[in-house]
Amino acid sequence: MDIVKKNMWSIVCGVVAILAVASTYYPLSGKFTELTAKMQGSVDDQRKIKSLISTNPNLPVIEPKSNEVKPLGMFPTDKVIEMGKKVVGKVHTESEKLAAKALEINERKPLVPGALPSGGGRYLAEFKDAYYSAMADLRTQMDATTVPTQEEINAKIEQIWTDDFKPMIKTVGDTAQNEQEVRTEFEDFKKDVPKQMRLERAMKHAVYVNPEKQGSSPGTTNGMTSSFDYHAGIPALEARDLPNIVDVWSAQLGYWIQEDVVHSIVETNKDSKDVDHSIVKRLIKTEIKKEYLTPTGPVQIAMATNAANIPVPPPAAGVDPAATTGPPKAFGYTVTGRVCNPQYDVMHFTITVDADAQRFQTFINNLTKGKFVTILRINMRGVDRERIQQSSFYYYGKAPVVRLEIKAETIFLRAWTAPPADPTKGLMPTNVQKLLGIKPNPTGMADAR
């Protein structure tokens, strides 16, 4: 007992020490974790402050024609921040205006309202009639002509005989008095008829197109390809068959592309009244690939005719991984890298024309100006004007002529073909949307696989 009394103070201190050690493991363990987190937060805040102090703030780049980054020169105060917000708002407004303008330029009107995206019956019949009528009108818009065919020349000669020479024959009773003399004069005259007809057409029209076979649907000619690309899925006018909705869509796309080409030729030749003075002298051929260029390669639009044949789109191959802020790029298929994506769809086409060798650049400029058309490749070779005049009777004038084979791509914005908010309000048929991986989600919105 005496020992306890003598060492009471030591015993009390020992007990307090034991209790202090024990307390660190029971009620205070959370406090240590909290203190550790606060310390780490203080370290992070100190690092951020040092970063802000050492960083030189820059002005935002708002000049479209320059990528120069200029230093702010001062710490962004509330006033500077407010000014920055106004600039950002202005840029946003301008970008919306630009998007609206792009949509205005790109959006087209269908040949028959109501035929797309799911019209049937009379709409399909009306589209067939409107399609062939519109394709014929493209020739009229260009003030186009053809080299007279032999049938046309023969008909003209027969008309001249009937109207001008036959009445010159004098008869007494039933006997012709001067028939031989009239026929001899007529034979001499008709030798120049073919040349006169050919020259007359070249002098009264701005551009040549290939003649199309009479008495049947356009698109096939006697040994010559049509200057225009008629979609084979649209039945002949004289046929009772109707096109399916996928063929209507494909034909409509082809018409819109050719409309761009024709408008470019019209603009190029606007100051010309004859082939001699025209820049574009002949539209030889138009070839439109009835396919979309997707990240996995070309996809035939006709595949959408039967929903059962529409494959599930495989993972995109060859897409540029660096293109993370915009549409995907697949340079394995095209030099521009453009492929179908949620913003737009891509198609390719090729046109062949004979044009003035010194002024054809005007046509190239008009083909791309104000249109969503990009030239991918141009093949050019000289044209022997004398030879083509003698063999095919095309009168191009005296200026040198070149033949241009132009491969180009065009895009159609989905904002109007298949609006993301509601694809059913666009013009693209449902099966074509499935082919491109456009699908409605449960809310009625649309996204792309």
Q: Taking Cα atoms as reference points, which of 349, 341, 268, 254 lies closest to residue 302? A: 254
Q: Which residues contact 446 (CB under 8 A, 6 or more apart)?
A: 418, 419, 420, 421, 422, 423, 433, 438, 439, 440
Per-residue confidence (pLDDT) for residue 75, from 0 to 100: 65
Query: How sure is the predictor about 64, in pLDDT bands with cuts at 50, 70 and 90?
Result: low
Per-residue confidence (pLDDT) for residue 40, from 0 to 100: 80
Taking only the tens place, the pLDDT of each residue in 180-218 is 888 889 899 989 999 999 999 999 999 999 987 544 555
Across 82-91, 154-163, 233-242, least confident range: 82-91
Given CA atoms 12, 15, 21, 24 in this order, what sign does their dihedral have?
negative
Residue that wins the pLDDT comparison between 37 and 359: 359
What's the farthest any 2 CA atoms get from each other in the chain?
178
Backbone angles phi, psi at 429, to 5 degrees: -60, 155
Tell me the sheet residues that pair with 345. Answer: 412
Per-residue confidence (pLDDT) for residue 20, from 0 to 100: 62
pTM reported for the whole predicted model: 0.76
Q: What is the mean pLDDT of the chain?
A: 84
Q: Taking Cα atoms as reference points, which of 244, 228, 243, 280 lies closest to residue 397? A: 280
Looking at residue 304, the DSSP 8-state letter turns out to be G
Count the neighbouring beta carbons within 10 Å of the beta carbon of residue 223.
Answer: 5
Query: At 18, which helix (H) or strand (E)?
Result: helix 8-23
Crossing angle for the helix pair 150-160 and 193-204, nearest 10 degrees?
Answer: 110
Crossing angle for the helix pair 360-368 and 245-268, nearest 10 degrees?
Answer: 140
> What is the average per-residue pLDDT within 317-335?
67
Give the alpha-carbon dihedral of 140, 138, 398, 366, to 10 degrees: 130
Per-residue confidence (pLDDT) for residue 380, from 0 to 100: 97
Please give the distance of CA 236 from its chain centroid, rounded to a whole number: 27
Crossing angle for the helix pair 245-268 and 122-141, nearest 10 degrees?
Answer: 20
Q: Where are the domains of the chain?
A: 2-54, 77-105, 121-143+205-448
C-alpha–C-alpha distance, residues 449 and 438, integer Å: 7
C-alpha–C-alpha distance, residues 191 and 184, integer Å: 12
CB of 411 within 8 A of CB of 338?
yes
Per-residue confidence (pLDDT) for residue 174, from 0 to 100: 76
41's tokens: 């937060």
**Count of residues in the chain:** 449
* Report for 62-66, 89-93, 129-133, 295-299: range of highest mean pLDDT: 129-133
442's tokens: 């449960």
Tell me the sheet residues that pair with 338. Answer: 329
